[in-house]
Structure 1
Amino acid sequence: MPRRTASPRSCASSSSTDFPFALAQHAGSTDTGFGVQRFFGGQTLMLSARARSFGRSIVTILAVVAVTAGLSLTAPAQSASAASTTLCTGYAQCTALGMSNHGYSTRSGNSYWRMYGGHNCTNYAAYMMVSAGMANVRPWTNATGNASGWGVGYKKATNQTPTVGSIAWWTPNSGHVAYVEAVISPTEILISEDSWGGDFHWRHLTKANGGWPEGFIHFKDASGVGSVPEFRGKASTTTVYTDSSKANLADTTVMKPGTTAWVDMKFVNTGRTAWTGLSLATQAPNDHDSVLAQGWTAANRAAVQSEAIVSPGRTASFGFSIRIPTGLADGTPVVENFAPVLADGTRVIAAAGKLSVVADSRNLFTTKPTPTISGLPREGQVLSAAAGSWKPNGATYKYTWMRDGAAIAGATAPTFALSATDVGRKISVKVTASANRYLSTAKTSVSTAPIASTRPATIALGDRWKVNSQIVSPNGRYRVVLSSKGVLVLQDRLKGTNLWKSKSAGVGATMHMLPNGTFAAYNKKGKLVWSTKSHKNGVTQGIVTDNGSFRMMTTPGKYVWIVR
C-alpha cells in the first residue's frame, strides 16, 4: 500500500487520523503558569515583581527588557486557557533557539511503528523511541495506532509520573502524544511534539492550568533524572549614570547618599537555548532591595515587546535605578549582584552582573585633567609631570611614578630620573588630587615610549666582553648580554623574556670579536667553546634591531649570521 501523508492536524497510525490537538492562541492573557502579568500598551512592557525563589527573597525589579539590535522580538504564543506556553514553532525556529527536533526534520518522510510520516504526533513519538534504541516495530497489538490507543496498548508501562524520555499521552477523540524533554517538577514539564497546529513545537505545561496529559508511557526513558534546558549567560557591561536620560556618567561610581543611580546592564546569552520572558532579580551580598526603584520607561529606552526571545549569542539590556540609602558613612560600598530570570521565576541564568557604587557625601572635582609627561625618554634623562588645572582651585597633588604600570618605590616627586633599570620599559605617572571636603581623585598619564639606552648599540672588531657586557636595540626594548654563567642571551626587556640563548661557556667566560668576523666564546681556561659564523670579508659589527633580531653584519650591510 503506498504511503500517504496525514492531515497537518492529525496524529495518526496508518489506519486512521488523529485528534487535532490545538488550542486557540492570543496575546494579552495572564499566564499564571509563568507567573508574569503582561500589559500591552504600545511598546511598553512592565514585568511584575516575583518573590521567594530558591528559598530566599528575590525581589524582581519592575524592569523594561530592551533587546539590542539583531534580536528576534517574536512573542511565544499563549493558549486561551493558559494550559501551555509555546516556546517555539517550526523546525527552523526551534533549532535556532536551541530546542532540538532530534533529526526528525530530515527523517519525517519515513514511517515509524507504521505511522503516517510528515507532521504527525504519533510518527514523531515513534521516531523518538526508535532513536532511543527500540525496534521499528509497534510494541503492542491490542489497540490501534491512534494516539488515544497508545496508553491502552502499553498499559503495563503507563502511569502518572513524568520522566525525561517518556511519552505524554492524551485520549480525547483520537488523542495526542508528545515527547517529554524536561521535568521541572512533578506538575511542570517541557515537551516537544509534531502535528499540533500543523507544525513542530516545544511547549511548557503545568498541571494546575489544565491540559495536563492523562498519563506518561515509559517505553524507554532517557538516562538520568532530566532537567530543563541549560540556560547560560554572562554579564557584558554595566554602566552607571546620575540621571535617567543617560546624559551624565557617574564619576568613578561614587555617589552621594540619597541620590539615584541609573543603571544600564547587559547580559549575553552564551548557551545553546534561547531566553524567554526575562525579568531581573537581585542576589545581593548587601541587601538594598528596599531601595530599588522603577526602571526606565519605553520613552527613553529601546522598543520592547512581551516575552522577547534572546537567541544564543545575542544580548539583553536592562535599565533600572537604585537609590543610594541615606545615612551611610563616607566610603561605604553599595554592592548588588543581578541576574536575568526566565518567565517561570525559578531558572536564574548563571553569571551575575555586578553593580558597585561607593556612597560618599564629599564633593567631586568638576575638572579632572589627565596629567602629562615631558622630557626625553632615554636613559640618563629627567622626566617631569604636569598635574594640569583641577577645579575647584586649591587642590594639592601627590605623584606616583610607575614602571610598566607598577609603582616605583620612592618615586613620588614631580620629576623622575631615568636609569638603566628603566631601559626598554614604559613610564607613566599617577596624580592624586586632594582638597577639603572633596573626594580624593586619581588620574594617570599616558605611558611614554620604551626608554632608550645610551649604551653601545653595536659589537665592533676587537671588542672583548666580560660578564654583564651588553648591547641594546635603539628603542631600548631588546638587548644581548653575557650572563654570569657564560651564556649569551637575547632578551625582550619589556616582557621580561629570553628570546634566544647560546651554548654556555661557563663561569668566567669571555667573548671576543675576531678579525675573521666571528664573535667567539672562550671559557676561563681560554678554550674556544662556540662562535658565530665567519665570513671571508670579515664582520665589522654586531647589532640588535628594534624588532628583536640579533645580527652579525659585513661592511656592505650584508647579514651573515642572524638570530630571529
Structure 2
Amino acid sequence: MSLRSSLRAPLTSAVAAALVGGLLACVPTAAGATDAPDRHPTSTSSTDAKAAMVAREQRRAKADGLTRSRAVFARSSYLCIGYKACADAGMGSAGYASANDKMYWRMYAGHNCTNYAAYRMVKSGLPNQRPWSGGGNATYWGTSVPDLTNRTPAVGAVAWWKANTGPAGSAGHVAYVERVVSSEEIVISQDSWGGDFSWAVVTKASGNWPSGFVHFNDLKLVNKAAPVVSGIAKVGAKLTATKGTWNPTDAKVTYQWLANGAVITGATKSSLALDQTRLGKTIRVRTTATKLGYPTKTAVSAATPAVLPGVITSTRAPALSGTAKVEKTLSLDEGAWNVAPDSTTVQWYADGQPIAGAVGATLKLTPELAGRVITVTVTAARAGYDPITVTTAATAPVALGTIRTQRQPAVSGVTRPGQTLTVDPGAYHPADSVVAIQWLRDGQPVLNATGPTYQLTALDLGGRISSSITISRAGYQTTTLTTPTTTRVRVTPRIKIERFRLKHAVRLKITVSAALVPSLDGSIVVRVQGGFHQTLTLHHGVARVRVSDLPKGKRALRVVYYGSTTVERATKLSALRMP
C-alpha cells in the first residue's frame, strides 16, 4: 500500500461536499500590514462575538483592497478534512482545534492558514511575536525572511506558496510540513479562511509544489546519547563504536573515525582496526545522523587513551630439528605469530651463552659444542608492536663426533729379528686428529714400542706383530684400530749334511741350526733320488738316517725342514753317491 493510501482517511459525505468547490481560502493579517491590531481579542466564548470579529476582519480586508487567498488542491490530494475527521484518522491539529480563537503572530484567529502556521511555530517553541516586520499575508512569509527560506522540505518547516502559485490564491498560502516522503513528495496540515482544517499530500508532479520552505524552528535530529567506543586501544586490536542514541530513532547514522582529531581516510564503518600508524594517538568516532526533512546532526565520542603498542603472540613455538652431534646440522623452524612480523632476529645459544655469529636458520655443530645443550631465541618485531622473544626447547647435550677412517693403517717389513717394521697409521677425518701408535706382540703391548717403526728382537721370535692405532680429537669420540698381524717372527735355519760311507750304504747326519735358537726341534724329510724317502725327528737339532738299497752312483739329495714357531721352513739340495 502506498503512503498516500495508508494515510488517507475515509472521506465522509460532508467532506466530499466541502471538496466540491475545491477551495481553501487564506485571509491576510489584520489590516494586512505591520500595524496589524494586536488588540484583537485572543479568545471569545460567544458565538456572536466571533461572528462580529470575522465580519469586522472581512470589512477591513475589503477596505484595504485585499483579497482572500484560495488554495485549491485536487480532491485526491486530501487525506482528511475537518478537525474531528482528521483527529479520528490520527492526523490531528496539534491542539489548534481548541485554540483557534486566539491570534498568533497577529494573524486573524479561526480558520486561517497564517494563524494555523503561526500557531504551529509558537507550539514548537517560538515566541508569539512575528519574526519579521511588514505584511503578514501568506505571500510575504518567504520573502520576508529570505535567510530562513530555501527549496528543501523539512518536517516542522512552513510550506509557502506565493500569490497565485500552484493551489494558492491572490494572498498566497502557508501550511505545516508534517512529513517528508521524498524530495518530491510531502504531507502537510493546513487551515483555510472560509474553509476547514485538512491534511493533504503534495507532490512536484501535481504542479502544487510550494514556492519554498521557511525554516523558523524545524524539528531537529537530537542526539540523546553520544556514541561510545569499546575495545582496547592498542595496535592490532579492533575498536567498535555504537552509533549513539538519536531522536527520531529511524535516522540513518554513518561513522567517521578520527585520530588526534583528524579524519582517518576510509574509516567509515562501525569498527576500526588499529594499525601501527595509530600508535600514540587518541581515537574518537564521529557519527552523523541524517533523515529526509531534518538537518544533519553529528555527535562525537569521548577519546580513547593514546593507542598502545600491540602485542605479538607466538601461536606456534619455534622448534629445532636435526641430530645433536658434532658435525651434524640443526635447523630452526621459527614458528608462527598472531600477526606477521616485519622482521625476526635469531640467536643460537650453547648452555645459555650466545654463540658468536650464529644468527641464521641453521647451525653446524662444531667440536667446541660437544657436551653442551643448544637453544635458539627468535625475536619477532613489527612496527607499532612490542617485540617478543621466544626460546626453543633445549636439545640433548651435543654428542661427540665420529672420526672417519679414510685409509686403513698397515704394517710393512720383514719379520725377522733385527729387521725393522714400519706402520702406515692411515688417514682420518678430521685431518688434524691426533694419532698414537702402540706396537703389539701377539696382541699385547710391547714395552716402549710406540713409534712409527719397530725393530724386531729375539723376544719377538715366534710372535705375531701388529700395531694399535688410537685416533683422538677434542669433540670426537676416540677411535682405536688394530693393523692386521704379521706372519710369525722367525729366523732362517742353516742345514748341514754330513755323509758317512758304509759297505753298501751311506749314513747321513743332518744338523739344523738357527741363530737365537739354541736347540731346534721339529721334523725333516730326506729324499734321495731313486726312491728313498724318510721323515725324521730332530733331537736338539740333529737327525740321523741310513740310506741303502739304492743303485750305485750319484743321486740327488733333498732335505726339507718344516720349520717351527721360531724358525722358518728351509730346504737344502745336495748330492749323494751310493757305494
Common fold: TM-score over 0.5? no
**In which range does the TM-score fall when normalised by the shorter chain?**
under 0.3
TM-score of the pair, normalised by structure 2: 0.27
**Higher relative helix content:** 2
Tell me which structure has the larger Cα radius of gyration: 2
TM-score of the pair, normalised by structure 1: 0.27
Higher relative contact order (CA 8 A, sep 6+): 1
**Higher relative strand content:** 2
